[in-house]
Copies of this chain bind each other. A is one copy, B any other.
Amino acid sequence: MLKVKSVAIDTFKENVAYLHRDCPLYRTEGFQALMKIEIYLKKSDTPILAVLNIVDDSNIVNVDELGLSKQAFKQFDKKQGVKVSLAPAKPPLSLTAVHKKIAGETLNKDDFHLICQDILENRYSKMEIAAFLVACSHTGLEREEIFFLTKAMVESGKQLNWGESIVVDKHCIGGIPGNRTTMIVMPIIAAHGMLMPKTSSRAITSPAGTADTMEVFAQVELSIEAMKKIVRQHRGMLTWGGTAKLAPVDDILISVERPLAMDSTGQLVASILSKKIAAGSTHLLIDIPVGPSAKVHQSHDALKLRKLFEYIGDLFGLHIDVVVSDGSQPIGNGIGPALEARDVQQVLSNQENAPRDLREKSLKLAGRILEFDPDIRGGQGYIIARDILESGRAYEKMQAIIDAQGRVENTQKKARLTQPVIAKTTGYVHAIDNLKIATIASLAGAPIDKYAGIHLIKKVADKVTKGDVLFIIYADFNSNFDFATEFAHENEVYSLKNTAPVAQDNYFI
């Protein structure tokens, strides 16, 4: 038995345990550095898993101690000195199923359940998770397998129940910078009286997630109790989904999928739907942007994806409506939390200079969601949404929700460094590369630096003269600024042509 000691090392999402080389356990049990170990308070408890580091310095840990990184220590309720026992972690049994998948076989319900259980209990290393994801991506998953995976992910965490027959949600499959429609749609829907308890994610590789942008205005990390109280009173909220522990296996898979830049259809569908089902949604609007630099390039691929969402949604009794939208450029003018928050503020307060595309797309999405209400006639949703926005009721609702979640003192702070990017030729804008815009904003420091990002001056259909400013880069730190401006100068972000594009007033295809 060893005494637990907190070691002040932050290892992010990875549990690390520190054992002194002269600890009798080290040799007698054949432990090795980087080995995975199980740590028990009592033999009957579920163990905590951690990666072992071996220490030769008694100032870090003594021979009778087990050091734990901050993350691991938290899981022992911060009890310094508590006695624990160790054992080498056994390899997860469900790896057999992963090998079946690598060999191209189809997995069953139990396989997916066991894999998700082992991942949840931290028994998979990141490379084992990568093997699972690549194997699933490669063969693709059968429709049935996507259902099993979704179900296993839902069951890996908590499930919310709001006790009403219509609980609405919306989700964009992503890939379009800006596009902060949720922050306009939610207050419109809540102002109408429909229940929209929205949980959103933070950005992982994109320059901002909805939770990051909302955080410019309000607290987003709330307890489930606090969320329930706000939703009862205001019919809506916009919080970070992480505290609610909804489909936590999804978060673990994403933490490997994103750095690998993997985006397989099966995983995408299972990821989105497991979160919504766990969040207690009954009606869901899914937005699939289509464009040359969007996630989906062709309308027929969007159609296939729609069928898949519908198939899985039906099996869970989740009512799904899918819209296919224009993904030829970012939506709104700002990219990065604070810059996007400004766009949202302009739309909600009906300002003259509010980005028109963000406003129109949000109204159309809100309209479709309002039509989940059996009392609203098909096609009337948009008009009702516009009335709610123009009357100022959406703005008021948002202010009430911001106050309820906890208002953040808005300093109107701006980034320290700016760099305008200039057109090298003359012409009309036909497309703006979403991926490159996202890369530049990320390099500039978004979302960790809330004020970093991009402000787009020219959008699709605008006429540009050589020397005009296309967009402005905002950054606070020198190295970020250098990376972002260098990338912007080396890459063609805007597609310019000599003739104007055909007018595109419909944001849905």
Contact = CB atoms under 8 A, between A and B. Distances in A.
A127 B259 contact: yes
A56 B130 contact: no
A445 B104 CA distance: 34
Interface residues of A, number: 57
Contact of A134 (B11, B102, B445): B102
Contact of A12 (B34, B70, B130): B34
A354 interface: no
Interface in A124-147: 125-131, 133-135, 137-139
A53 B11 contact: yes
A304 to B, nearest CB: 17
Contact of A30 (B16, B56, B57, B448): B448
A337 B448 CA distance: 52
Interface string A74-97: 000000000000011000000100
A232 interface: no
A261 to B, nearest CB: 7
Interface in A100-139: 102, 104, 125-131, 133-135, 137-139
Contacts of A18: 9
A13 interface: yes
A135 B102 CA distance: 9
Interface in A33-75: 33-34, 53-57, 59-60, 69-70
B9 A131 contact: no
A365 B321 CA distance: 68
Given A9-B60, A10-B54, A30-B480, A130 B138 contact: no
B30 A449 contact: yes
Contacts of A137: 102
A494 to B, nearest CB: 23
Total copies of this chain within the assembly: 2
Contact of A59 (B12, B59, B448): B59
Given A10-B53, A10-B56, A126-B127, A28 B477 contact: yes
A383 interface: no
A479 interface: yes
B10 A55 contact: yes
Contacts of A12: 32-34
A396 interface: no
Contacts of A102: 134, 137-138, 262
A59 B28 CA distance: 29
A10 B14 CA distance: 17
A99 B261 contact: yes
Contacts of A7: 57, 60
A56 B135 contact: no
A34 B71 CA distance: 13
A125 B128 contact: no
A131 B10 contact: no
Contact of A127 (B11, B56, B130): B130
A256 interface: yes
B260 A128 contact: yes
Interface in A467-491: 477-480
Given A10-B33, A12-B33, A128-B259, 14 more contacts: A7-B60, A9-B60, A10-B54, A11-B34, A11-B53, A16-B53, A59-B60, A87-B479, A125-B126, A126-B127, A127-B259, A127-B260, A131-B262, A134-B134
19 contacts: A8-B56, A8-B60, A10-B33, A10-B54, A12-B33, A12-B34, A28-B477, A53-B69, A88-B479, A95-B261, A99-B262, A102-B138, A104-B138, A125-B126, A125-B259, A126-B127, A131-B260, A131-B262, A134-B135
